[in-house]
Each structure stands twice: as structure tokens, then as C-alpha cells.
Amino acid sequence: MKFAVAASLAILTPVFAKHGMVQKRGHAQLADAIQAREEQSTDICSAAVASLGQYTVYEPACVNLIYNCLDAVNSTEAIWSQASCVAAATCDGTRNLYQLAQCQNSAISTTNASYLDYGIYANITGECAYAEGGCSMTQQNFVDFFYATLSSIESPEWPSDANSVVTNYWDVIKEWVAVEGDDIPYMNFADFLLYSDSYAEDVEEDGSCEEGA
């Protein structure tokens, strides 16, 4: 932490000096401000780590998806181009996953994030995604995707059964998107990933979203 503060000061001091703004007291205030910001960031990241996989219920399989996602975002800002990130968001909540991803790669932003990669969506729904008008994601599509993603990362843990995936994750998404029928269209699922800001306190003990969440 001290090294980070010193490095930041080394970069910023010439800028302040150029404008005649360097003072001994100013240095101390700047150092305090930088350290406070870094400590706040550390606290946020620590809190996000403490909440790993505890969106609706604690699920070790979800933690494995999160770790794989975080490995992937080391080299990309396109979080929704990674299948493990998409699956992890459904079981960790989008807010916590975004925070973890930003702690891993500060270039990731919630304000300019790309929409869900359509290729991933097509892998979820099948070839009908490329038919005229596309097709919606069914409950079975989602369950298959969740398990297939766990398989692809060679997760040593798995959900207790498919019903838990439906109750704890699918039903929460379905309630948020609030579309008629049993299925979820691409745009609604993509909106959930981008805009739901879902997190543990949004979910009641029965797994449903609180009103207004």
C-alpha cells in the first residue's frame, strides 16, 4: 500500500509542480487522499470476495464459475463474452460479479459494458437463435447451459440438483425480466446482465426478488 501511494505521488507531483501547486502540506493531504481511496477500494474488493457465491444460497459450484470468470477478465474487458462470467452472474448476482471483475481488471466498467455476446446466447438456445426472429431461452436451455459451463471449466463441485438451479437462479431472472410466457428473449436476458444490479439483499429467503429490485 505504501509503495502504491509513493508511486502515485511520483506521477502526480510533476503535474502539481508545473502549476505551482506543490506544498509540503499539500503533499501530505494528497498522500492521505490517495491512501484513503486505495483503502476504500481494498475494502470494497474484500467485501466482494467475502460474498462469493452467496447470492441466493451459498453454492461452491458458483465460486468455481466466478474464479474462472476472473481468470478470463485478466485479458478482456468484455465480461459478457465469457460463458463462465455469464453463468457466474446468475448465481453470484451481477453487482458482486461486476465488483470482483473490476477489482481484477480496473478497465471493466458497468457504464460502457458490451451486451451479451450473441454467440454465447446461441450456444444456450441452439441454432434457432440464428433463425429469422431468433428464439427465446427456455428454462431447460438455462439449466443445460449452467451445467455445461461447469463441465467446461472442470468444476469439482456441482449443484445438488437441477431444481436448485431453477429455484435459486432461473426464477430470480424470470421475475426481474417480467416477460409474459415461460421463456426469456435475448434482449431481456442481456438487460438483466447489464442493468439488474442484482445482489444478495435483493433476494428474499424464498428466492424471489424484493419488490422494486
pLDDT in tens, the chain (213 residues): 332 333 333 333 332 333 333 333 344 544 444 344 445 456 778 888 887 777 888 999 999 999 999 999 988 999 999 999 999 999 999 999 999 998 888 888 877 788 999 999 999 999 999 999 999 999 999 999 999 999 999 999 999 999 999 999 999 999 999 999 999 999 999 999 999 987 766 444 444 444 443
Specify whether the CB–CB gap between 52 and 66 falls below 8 A.
Answer: yes
Q: What are phi and psi of 151, to 5 degrees?
A: -65, -40
The whole-number pLDDT of residue 14 equals 34
Q: Which amino acid is it at 134?
A: G
Specify whether the CB–CB gap between 127 and 135 falls below 8 A.
Answer: no
From the CA atom positions of the chain, what is the Rg in Å?
21
